[in-house]
Amino acid sequence: MVRDREPLAEAKKVLKNTFGFQSFRGGQGKVIESLLGGSDTLAIMPTGSGKSLCYQVPALLFAGVTLVISPLVSLMKDQVDDLNELGISATFINSTLAAKEMRRRLEETAKGTYRLVYVAPERLESEGFLPLAQSIKTAFIAVDEAHCVSRWGHDFRPSYRRIAAFLKELPERPVVGAFTATATPEVKADIINLLGLKAPRIIVTGYDRPNLYFSVLRGVSKEDYILQYLAAKRENPGIIYTSTRKETDKLAGYLQKHGLKCAKYHAGMRNAEREKNQEAFLRDDVTVMVATNAFGMGIDKSNVRFVIHYSIPGNIEAYYQEAGRAGRDGEPGECIVLYHPKDVLMQRYLIEKSVYSPKRKKNELNKLQALVNYCHTAKCLRKELLAYFGEEDTPENCGNCGNCRDEGETVDVTLDAQKVLSCAYRLKGRFGAAMLARVLKGAQNKRIRQLKLDRLSTYGLLADRSIEEIRDFIGFLTAEGYLHLTEGSYPLVKLGRKAAAVIKGREKVMRRLTQLQDTAEEDLFSVLRRLRKQVADRENRPPYMVFSDATLREMSEKCPEDDRAFRRITGVGEKKAKKYGPEFLAAIKKYRAAGAAGPADDEER
């Protein structure tokens, strides 16, 4: 606990002088104030909201060592490198270290050399670590990715269950902070109980990421769309997620064949190849990473401009965390899902194969259906995501998603909806979506004839549509509450709560079609980004560790002319101003001298 009349006063000084930020944003101030006041704290903050600062700043103010427990080996190294660059003594201890280096770091930790020590949760049980933790003054423990403690979460790790026992073995219990980006009510309760938090303050800063644009595209040629999209985005870094290793290999090969700078990443590759590709992506040597969900956890790359889901993940928690890797610097990012019904079959197969508990399997299938509904809804996509996490009081129109932007045509699909609903009524809830689609299509197969479904008055009502189009429309009607799917591995289609009004002609059904968006780069921003890449290559470090895209964007907007103005740019700080200021100021001056109009010129005109 930090004894100060104003707990945030010193924290604000650290924030400005060490990290180069003028003020806290979002809920950072509340979280830090709670921790410095000595309270266990559960902070639920979206990806990109600056969770790491919420434990790094207090670590520099507590009298003792801060242990950061994280499952993300790559994140440990990135954050430690960044802290060391800022002059902060920090280290990590994990399985990637050679035995000699491991002993050295443990010895230095015992001497009190480091303010922050990053460890994997498994390290808490290793021989010799508990005595070490008991011998030093551990003032603060930060548990990152705290949702990993819960079986109901999407990244359960059994080792997280042992953190509470570790805390009890310490001679003096430190302040504990638990941090996560996503937590349903069940996961939130597990974090508090299973980590043994003592009367914690729960600070939910909101799940919204206003800088992210969400969209879902259905019925497109995925490969053609990807080529078109990447051609429009040029040098913007991004991630494309696939559901299987085979799909990753195929798509990466296809993009490389078409001359695009991309790499791939999945668990079936050799470690050396994965590390090489990851490093190339972090350094902007390749702009696109095609990967399974094995990639991304702990990748602290702030300038990812887009995340495309080539195939859907298993639930909204996983989707929101993966999509949230775009725009971590606060700059605009795009999160796009390319939906196909076959993706749902693959995810059902994976759930059936990997989940054995009937109760948990039912829960996972329900989560998958929630994601499918998201992919078909005509409502605000952001509102749907936030409602999933319990945030109901949100605007009906966010203005920054594929369904809310006024870019697509809204069409009246009432007649088609009546045809589908009437057919579902006549099938009496005995069949799934696939059979409903076949009957509407007027498919000729043995089972339909055996069941005499070809005699229904609704048989063949949508004969001019493809099965895929009909299945997609059924998904839309389900998402909007006109149809309802039963729970379980083989869901049946029934009429939903809103069906009667449509069948009787009292309500219209409207659907909006979305279109591809394009963005243009600002010239000075591009100049500064190229300079950042040169500096990063010279220092053998990722570009975003030099300056974030947000910092470069502010430079390009404000065009600082001297060192004093340069230091006022968010994300610069004293050390970076001294180290990089002359080069970046010279680049800005040269650009303006060449005749480009900056903010001052605009004001004069």
Q: Which domains does the chain have, with CATH numbers?
A: 7-204 (3.40.50.300), 212-388 (3.40.50.300), 410-512 (1.10.10.10), 523-604 (1.10.150.80)
What's the Cα-to-Cα distance from 221 to each of 227, 467, 564, rounded to whole Å?
10, 16, 52
> How much of the chain, in percent, has pLDDT values that exceed 90?
45
pLDDT value, residue 605: 26
How far apart are alpha carbons 548 and 55 in whole angstroms? 20
Strands (E), 183-274: 201-204, 212-218, 238-241, 262-265
In the chain, the N- to C-terminal Cα span, in Å, equals: 54
Question: Are 160 and 149 a contacting pair, CB within 8 Å?
Answer: yes
pLDDT value, residue 571: 87
- Mean confidence (pLDDT) of the chain: 87
Tokens 């990063």 correspond to: 536
- Region 57-73: mean pLDDT is 91
C-alpha angle 546/547/548, rounded to 5°?
130
Write the CB contacts of 496 (distance below 8 Å, at least 6 apart in sequence): 477, 478, 481, 482, 483, 484
Greater pLDDT, 129 or 517: 129
DSSP state of 244: S
Amino acid at 462: L
pLDDT value, residue 78: 82
How far apart are alpha carbons 482 and 504 in whole angstroms? 13
How far apart are alpha carbons 481 and 496 in whole angstroms? 5
pLDDT value, residue 439: 95
DSSP per position, 588-603: HHHHHHTT---HHHHH
- Region 179-199: mean pLDDT is 89
Greater pLDDT, 448 or 574: 448
Greater pLDDT, 88 or 94: 88
Q: Which long-range contacts (CB under 8 A, 24 or more apart) does 414-419 make?
A: 414/502, 414/507, 414/508, 414/509, 416/462, 416/473, 417/473, 417/477, 417/482, 417/502, 417/509, 418/502, 418/503, 418/505, 419/458, 419/461, 419/462
Of 147, 204, 154, 202, the closest CA to residue 180 belongs to 147
Q: What 3 state SS string does 473-538 have?
A: HHHHHHHCCCEEECCCCCCCEEECCCHHHHHCCCCCCEEECCCCCCCCCCHHHHHHHHHHHHHHHH
Which tens digit of pLDDT belongs to each residue from 481-505? 899 888 777 789 999 989 999 999 9
DSSP state of 451: T
Q: Specify which residues 322 forms β-bridges with.
A: none
pLDDT at residue 604 above 60?
no
pLDDT value, residue 513: 61
pLDDT value, residue 517: 43
Confidence of residue 115 (pLDDT cuts 50, 70, 90): very high
Greater pLDDT, 181 or 266: 266
The number of beta carbons lying within 10 Å of the beta carbon of residue 575 is: 15
Q: What is the pTM (predicted TM-score) of this model?
A: 0.68
pLDDT value, residue 154: 62
pLDDT value, residue 516: 44
pLDDT value, residue 518: 41
Using DSSP, state whether 416 is helix, strand or coil: helix
Greater pLDDT, 33 or 407: 33
Of 574, 584, 591, the closest CA to residue 536 belongs to 584
- Region 301-323: mean pLDDT is 92
Q: Which of 5-14, 416-425, 595-604 has the lowest mean pLDDT?
A: 595-604
How far apart are alpha carbons 201 and 183 in whole angstroms? 15
pLDDT value, residue 293: 87
Tokens 């006022």 correspond to: 568
Classify the C-alpha dihedral 538-540-543-546 as positive or negative: negative
How far apart are alpha carbons 573 and 85 in whole angstroms? 12
Confidence of residue 90 (pLDDT cuts 50, 70, 90): very high
pLDDT value, residue 297: 66
- Region 38-64: mean pLDDT is 90
How far apart are alpha carbons 563 and 578 in whole angstroms? 8
Which tens digit of pLDDT belongs to each residue from 94-105? 888 888 998 899
